[in-house]
Chain A
């Protein structure tokens, strides 16, 4: 019997040549509510259909039924590794909509928290990727050790470790506590040392190279046409980083490089993240050195009864996983008339089949790991 979920199957020589396997949501590599319907010819993938599940809500509809400020804590839950950058992207779209200016100090705080989030996200992604590959424990423990230091900083700043809800329209919720900059400097200065250790541990490891080089190749043209963004796109050799292209916030003030890959395979996607962490640490050091004193929020910004004029805006940032954008239409009421999120995890997953075709079933897990997904973003 041919698998029923697929309309177009490759020609089968005889009945029973293909095996349909549902990988996930219980499979440890699918990290939650995600499933891949895979059709296998022996161990080789001939078809793959990603099936997105429902996590716990519909973020966009909730946002249309709550106030502008009330949506901010929900953005934390979109990608629960990157709540600071999610806050930033949403705040940016509303600032465009309402014409709010962000004070200098708040811009620096946003860059610092955003780059700390990138370090946190990329180091954990590498840990999880290696875990998906079978390296049980060590890389993810090393990554979590560093993550703890960043989460401590977030906790003393925002009060919460993961669901920060820190940014506000026109700035930030509160100023940096005493001694925070010194602690952050210490983290930023020590991070390259951790990266060196990580690189020695992993980058030249023959098993890792054998499992990732030439696996899950994403050609440049295909990546562009699929709308893939972030480290995945740059691993395919496309020089597109919104921090450079759009220069939102104050990114034009910092010296940093955009690392690019050559082959677009899983190893390149892994290495791009390692190199990006080096660049993020550089940005952090510059921002922490130059941060000025002053107000942290636009005095025109209102908490209660915030009603931007009728209009529309799209705010986007280079989130750790790619382009995260919020498109908001206002009709002058306290709630957005239309609210739409452009989440990188969802868009990047749509190309999964093309990356997996022809690879072994064991490689599917590794390729999925290299996409870097958080299913809160995928749920809609």
Chain B
């Protein structure tokens, strides 16, 4: 019968229409910005620089090795390395970035900077409300604006942050054990050198 297909289709639409009032699985409208869907744990938007301790600038994990700048596909990272080492939050002398800027109007959120960073210094944020009225300077984030604490990283990506913390702790423990062993070996060598030579008959 001509028109039967159209009627069948309309019945289907009517079922969907009525079902949307009773079915829990129906797509609901979220009243943004008052209501928000919680972000997925893996969600990524723009990069940020992780710092440890209380002072964002002294605690930056970044040592300005320039790997992320070289690997960034859209070339949106600009780094100038400080010429002299400075103490970090633990007092250890480290190279630090004098300038670390990311042009977020160019960044394509690919996460490659995060993957290539050997120091766990750059991570992806979930912040997405970054619009501002200054379309030039306002979209070029400097290291002060990019610095976010490790607590923030733990909050937005808990599983990943726990893995990173464990890895860094293991590396630190290994380095300390090596330093201790080196120091002991050095002491033994000094002691052996300063000990009186055995008497010969």
Contact = CB atoms under 8 A, between A and B. Distances in A.
Interface of A: 66-67, 69-74, 77, 138, 142, 145, 148, 152, 155-160, 163, 165, 173-174, 177, 197, 200-209, 303-304
For the residues of A in contact with B, the DSSP-based class is helix
Contacts of A67: 71, 73
B40 A155 contact: yes
A160 B42 CA distance: 8
B73 A70 contact: yes
A165 B111 contact: yes
Given A73-B108, A145-B27, A160-B109, A197 B12 contact: yes
Interface of B: 2-6, 8-9, 11-13, 16, 27, 40-44, 67, 71-73, 108-112, 115-116, 124, 159
Nearest to B13: A138
19 contacts: A71-B73, A142-B16, A148-B27, A156-B41, A158-B42, A159-B44, A160-B43, A163-B110, A177-B42, A200-B11, A200-B12, A201-B12, A202-B9, A203-B5, A204-B4, A206-B6, A207-B6, A303-B116, A304-B67
Contacts of B116: 69, 303-304
A203 B8 CA distance: 10
A160 B44 contact: yes
B73 A159 contact: no
A67 B5 CA distance: 54
B17 to A, nearest CB: 10
A157 B110 contact: no
Given A70-B73, A74-B73, A156-B40, A204 B108 contact: no
A73 B9 contact: no
B71 A69 contact: yes
Pick the most buried of A160, A202, A208: most chain B CB atoms within 10 A of its CB. Answer: A160
Contacts, number: 84
Contacts of A203: 5
A69 B112 contact: yes
A159 B108 contact: no
Contacts of B124: 159
Nearest to B116: A304
A159 B115 contact: no
Pick the most buried of B3, B12, B116: most chain A CB atoms within 10 A of its CB. Answer: B12
Contacts of B71: 67, 69-70, 304
A201 B13 contact: yes
Given A69-B112, A148-B27, 9 more contacts: A70-B72, A152-B40, A156-B41, A163-B108, A165-B110, A197-B16, A200-B8, A304-B71, A304-B116
A162 to B, nearest CB: 11
Contacts of A160: 43-44, 109
A205 B110 contact: no
B27 A173 contact: no
B112 A204 contact: no
A333 to B, nearest CB: 14
A299 to B, nearest CB: 16
A173 B111 CA distance: 11
A207 B115 CA distance: 52
Nearest to B44: A159
Closest 8 CB pairs of A and B: A204-B5, A73-B110, A159-B44, A70-B73, A159-B42, A156-B40, A201-B9, A205-B5
B195 to A, nearest CB: 48
Contacts of A66: 73
Contacts of A304: 67, 71, 116
A205 B124 CA distance: 48
Contacts of B112: 69-70, 72-73, 165
Nearest to A71: B73
A191 to B, nearest CB: 14
B11 to A, nearest CB: 8
A328 B180 CA distance: 50
A350 B137 CA distance: 44
Contacts of A71: 73
A208 B159 CA distance: 50
B162 to A, nearest CB: 13
